[in-house]
Amino acid sequence: MPRKKPIQRPMPRKGSCIPAFHKLSIEERVRTIRDRGLISQEDYKSLLAGRNVLSLDNAGAMIENVVGVMGLPVGLGLNFLVNGKDYVVPMAVEEPSIVAAVSYAAKTAREAGGFTTESTEQLLIGQIQIMDVPHPTRARAKLLRHKEEVLNLANSLHPRLVARGGGARELEVFLFPAASGKAEMVVIHLLVDTRDAMGANLVNTMCEGVASLVETISGGKVFLRILSNLADRSLVRARIRVPHEELTNNGFDGEQVRDGIIIAGEFADIDPYRAATHNKGIMNGIDAVALATGNDWRAVEAGAHAYAARGSRYTSLTSWRKDDEGNLVGEIELPLKVGIVGGSLQSNPTVALNLRLLGVKSARELAEVMGAVGLAQNFAALRALATEGIQHGHMTLHARSVVSAAGAPAELFDTVVDRVVESGEIKIWKARELIQEVSLEAGPSEITTPADPQMGVGHGKIILFGEHAVVYGKRAIAAPVPLAVRARIVDTDSGVWIVMPRWGIELRLHDDPKKRSAIEATGAVILEELGLGDRHMRIETYSEIPRAMGLGGSAAVAVAIIRALDIHFELALSEEEINLLAYRAEQVAHGTPSGIDNTVATFGRPILFRAGSPPEIEEIYFDKPLRFVIGITGAESLTAKTVARVRKAREKNRPVIERIFRGIDALTGQALAAIKHHDLEQLGDLMNVCHGLLNSLQVSSWELEELIQIAREHGALGAKLTGGGGGGSMIALCPENSEKVIRAMNDGGYQALEVSVS
C-alpha cells in the first residue's frame, strides 16, 4: 500500500511578541519565526540561503537597462495587535531605529488593547479629461444619464476583475473653470474597485477603453486618461487609546508625556514646516511596509502628502487628544491604495515571502496594518520628542508659537504667553481669546499680570545712581518698578519642575547639581534651605520683567518663588528671612551680588544701599512721585562681563578708577538731596554726569547710547544706563514728556515703558 504523504499544515501563529528578538543572531531570528509558524520550512531555508533575493533575470524583466539588483535590510516590526489579530510586520528600510521604534510603540499600544482600524471601500479613481466640450453643463448631465453604459463598457474590459467581485462602481463628473479663454474642462472620475490589486494598470486600461464612448456622449475630445494617486476613496483609519499610566517614561510622569504628545501633535497641525517632518516620520513606517510588500511607495507617498494638503494648508496626518478619562487617543487617516497581487509583486520572491509572513488576506487588510504602522511610528516619535521637549522647555516654546500663530501684537505677546500657559489650554483659539482679554486690560504702555493673593511676588528694580561703585562699598539708590514676577506652587507626582513661559523656560530640576542651570540652582538652593528638597512640585513663574535687561529679574524670581513656597507650605517666613534667602540664591546663581537687587525685590521700596555684612539699608521717601522712562536695548546685559572689566581697570589704574567711584558716590549724595527737594533739573543733570562717569568705565553700549540720545533729544531732563550695562536698560527722567520719549524710542525699534517711583 502506498504510504500516505503527511499533510503539511502550517503551525499555528503564536502572536507577534517575541521576547528578546533583537538580542538573537540573524540565524536564530529566522529559526524563531519558523518555530512560531510564521514562515514555512521552505521559506526558512530560502531565507538562510539568501535564495529569496530577486534574481538578475527577474530584475531584467522588470525595468530597462538592468545591470544588477540592490539589497535593503528587511526587519520585523513586532508586537502589532490590530483589531485583535497579531501581525509580525516585515519592513524594508535603510534607516536605523524605525523598526525598533514601531515595535516599542506597538508594545505600548498592545498593552492598551492594540490598534483598531477601519477603512472605506477601496476604490481607485481614474481620471478622464475632456476638452473642447461645446456645452459643458449639458455634457455633464448627459454623461451622468449614460453612466451605466460607461461603467458596463469599463467592466467589459476586465471581466476577471468583475468575476472577483470588483469593477467600475461609480462615475462622477466635474467642471473646471476655463483657462485662458478656452471652454470649461470636463473631468470624469471613474471609481473602480480593484480588489486585491493596487489597480493602476487596471484603471488606466478602463479609462482608455471608455474614451471614445465618452467623446460621443460629451461631444468633446478626450485628452488625458490616467488614475489619480490622491486615493481619497480608499481611506484607512487607525486608532489607539493609551492610559496615561502606560506613558510613564524615563522618570517623566504619564500625564506630562501625554500632554507633551498632544502639544507636539498640535504643532504639526498648525505649522506646515513641522507637519512635513511629522508626516515624513509616519511614512518611515508605511513606506518600509510598502517596499517589503512590493507596493509602489511613490504612489503611497503622493497620496499621503496630497491628502495632508487637501485643506487650506498642509497639515498632520494624525491627531492626538485626551479623552474624558485622561487617556491619550491617537488617530491617523490617510489614503492607502495598495495591493497584494499584480504589479511587480509576483516577480520578487522576497515580496511573496514577506506577504506570507505578514499573513494578510486582502489588500484592504494590508492597508489597515500599514495605517497602524504609520500611527505606531508617529506615536514613538512624538513620545521621544515630547520627553525631550519636557526636559528642555519646548512646552513653553510651543505656547509662544501658538501665541504667535494667533497673531498677538508684540507689546502683548509675553503677557498672552503667560496667560495661555496658566490656562492650561495651549491652543490657538485660547490664545485669540486671551489676546482680546489682555488688549482690553492693557494701558497704553504698561501691561501687567493681574494680582492673585495665592501667588508670591518679587519686584523688579532700577538703579538710579551708584551702579558699579556699589561693588566697591559706595552708596547706591535703587527703586522698585511696577513690573513684577509672580509665582505659584502646584503639587505634582514626581520631580521639581520650573516653568517660566515668558522666558521660554520649562525644565525639570536636574538630579546632578553640576548639571543645573542658573535658574535650577536658584530653585534648588531655595528648596534645600527651606527643607523642601524632597517635595514634588511645579513652580510656575510669571514674569513681567524682561530677562537679563538689568531690571532685577533674577532676584525678583527668587523672591517670588520663596514667597510662593511660603504661602503653599505655610512656612510663616519673615520679610528679613525672605530677603536673606533671596540673597543666598543670587549668590549661588550669580557669584558676588551686591545685595541691592534682592532687597528691592523683597521690600518693594526705594532704598539707599551700601554693601557690607550686614549691608546698610535706608528707606527713601519721595514727596512727589518721579516719572521715568525705561528704555530697553533688547541686548542682554552682560553684568558679569562689565563688572569684570571694571575690576581689571581698577587693578590697572586704581587711583583713577577709585576717583571715579568717589565721583559716583558724590553724585549719589547730591541726588539724595535733589530727590528730597524734588529738584528735577538738578536730578536730571546728575544723571547725565553719572552716565558720563559710567562711560569712562566703558560699561555702556551703542544701543544704550542711542537710547540716551533719543531721550535727551526728546526732552528728558537726564538719562543714564541702569544696572550692569553692556546692554540691558537705561532710564530717563521725564516728568512731562514721557509719551514723546517712548514714541521716539519705539520708532527707533526699542521697547520702552513709563514707571513712576514714589
Please say which residue, 153 or 689, places its beta carbon nearer to ligand NAD.
Answer: 153
CA 712 distance to own-chain centroid: 44
Rounded to the nearest whole angstrom, what is the least distance from the CB of residue 124 to ligand NAD in the complex?
9
Please say which residue, 128 or 717, places its beta carbon nearer to ligand NAD.
Answer: 128
Q: What's the one-letter identity of residue 225?
A: R
- Residue number of the CB closest to ligand NAD reads 342
- In whole angstroms, give the CA distance from residue 559 to residue 578: 7
- In whole angstroms, give the CA distance from residue 91 to residue 77: 7
* Annotation says 280 is catalytic: yes
Rounded to the nearest whole angstrom, what is the least distance from the CB of residue 312 to ligand NAD in the complex?
26
Angle between helices 147-156 and 211-218 (to 10 degrees): 170
Q: Among 142, 147, 280, 590, which one carries the catalytic annotation? A: 280
- In whole angstroms, give the CA distance from residue 500 to residue 449: 14
Widest CA span of the chain, in angstroms?
Answer: 129
Q: Among 5, 23, 64, 95, which one carries the catalytic annotation? A: 95
User: Which among 421, 252, 254 is positioned nearest to 325, based on CA atoms?
Assistant: 254
Please say which residue, 233 or 714, places its beta carbon nearer to ligand NAD.
Answer: 233
* Residue labelled with grid coordinates 536698560: 729
All three cell numbers of 530, joined, read: 527651606
Q: Tell me, what DSSP letter sits at residue 161? A: H
All three cell numbers of 237, joined, read: 483609519
Please say which residue, 97 or 201, places its beta carbon nearer to ligand NAD.
Answer: 201
With vertex at residue 298, the alpha carbon angle to CA 293 and CA 300, rounded to the nearest 5 degrees, is 65
- In whole angstroms, give the CA distance from residue 444 to residue 448: 12
Please say which residue, 166 or 552, places its beta carbon nearer to ligand NAD.
Answer: 166
- CA dihedral of residues 575, 613, 729, 713 (deg, nearest 10): 110
Report the residue count for the chain.
758
Please say which residue, 72 or 490, places its beta carbon nearer to ligand NAD.
Answer: 72
Rounded to the nearest whole angstrom, what is the least distance from the CB of residue 180 to ligand NAD in the complex?
27
* Residue labelled with grid coordinates 543670587: 586
Rounded to the nearest whole angstrom, what is the least distance from the CB of residue 306 to ligand NAD in the complex?
12
Rounded to the nearest whole angstrom, what is the least distance from the CB of residue 62 to ligand NAD in the complex?
9
Helix (H) or strand (E) holding 729: strand 729-733
Please say which residue, 130 or 197, places its beta carbon nearer to ligand NAD.
Answer: 197
Q: Phi and psi for 661 in degrees, rounded to 5? A: -60, -45
* Annotation says 575 is catalytic: no
Instruction: Find the DSSP H helices in 182-251.
Output: 200-209, 211-218
Q: Among 244, 394, 468, 720, which one carries the catalytic annotation? A: 394
Rounded to the nearest whole angstrom, what is the least distance from the CB of residue 273 to ligand NAD in the complex?
28
Please say which residue, 199 or 735, places its beta carbon nearer to ligand NAD.
Answer: 199
With vertex at residue 124, the alpha carbon angle to CA 64 and CA 152, rounded to the nearest 5 degrees, is 105
3-state secondary structure 16-48: CCCCCHHHCCHHHHHHHHHHCCCCCHHHHHHHH
Please say which residue, 266 or 296, places its beta carbon nearer to ligand NAD.
Answer: 296
Please say which residue, 359 or 458, places its beta carbon nearer to ligand NAD.
Answer: 359
For 199, left (φ over 0), alpha (ψ -120 to 50), or beta?
left
- In whole angstroms, give the CA distance from residue 139 to residue 144: 8
Q: Among 184, 296, 422, 540, which one carries the catalytic annotation? A: 296
User: Which among 229, 281, 279 is positioned nearest to 105, based on CA atoms?
Assistant: 281
User: Which among 551, 697, 718, 755 is positioned nearest to 634, based on CA atoms?
Assistant: 551
Rounded to the nearest whole angstrom, what is the least distance from the CB of residue 66 to ligand NAD in the complex?
16
With vertex at residue 254, the alpha carbon angle to CA 381 and CA 115, rounded to the nearest 5 degrees, is 55
- In whole angstroms, give the CA distance from residue 362 to residue 368: 10
- In whole angstroms, give the CA distance from residue 200 to residue 227: 6
Q: What's the one-letter identity of residue 392?
A: H
Rounded to the nearest whole angstrom, what is the least distance from the CB of residue 300 to ligand NAD in the complex?
9
Rounded to the nearest whole angstrom, what is the least distance from the CB of residue 228 to ligand NAD in the complex?
8
With vertex at residue 582, the alpha carbon angle to CA 389 and CA 450, rounded to the nearest 5 degrees, is 65
All three cell numbers of 515, joined, read: 548639571
290 close to 204: Cβ distance less than 8 angstroms: no
Rounded to the nearest whole angstrom, what is the least distance from the CB of residue 297 to ligand NAD in the complex?
9
Please say which residue, 169 or 321, places its beta carbon nearer to ligand NAD.
Answer: 169
Which residues here bind ligand NAD, judged by CB under 6 A?
160-161, 164, 194-202, 227, 229, 296, 299, 339, 341-344
- Residues with Cβ within 8 Å of 409's Cβ and at least 6 positions away in sequence, in order, are 435, 439
Please say which residue, 64 or 570, places its beta carbon nearer to ligand NAD.
Answer: 64
3-state secondary structure of 578: helix
53 close to 350: Cβ distance less than 8 angstroms: yes
Rounded to the nearest whole angstrom, what is the least distance from the CB of residue 346 to ligand NAD in the complex?
8
* Annotation says 394 is catalytic: yes
Rounded to the nearest whole angstrom, what is the least distance from the CB of residue 748 to ligand NAD in the complex?
58
210 close to 154: Cβ distance less than 8 angstroms: yes
Active-site residues, by number, are: 95, 280, 296, 394
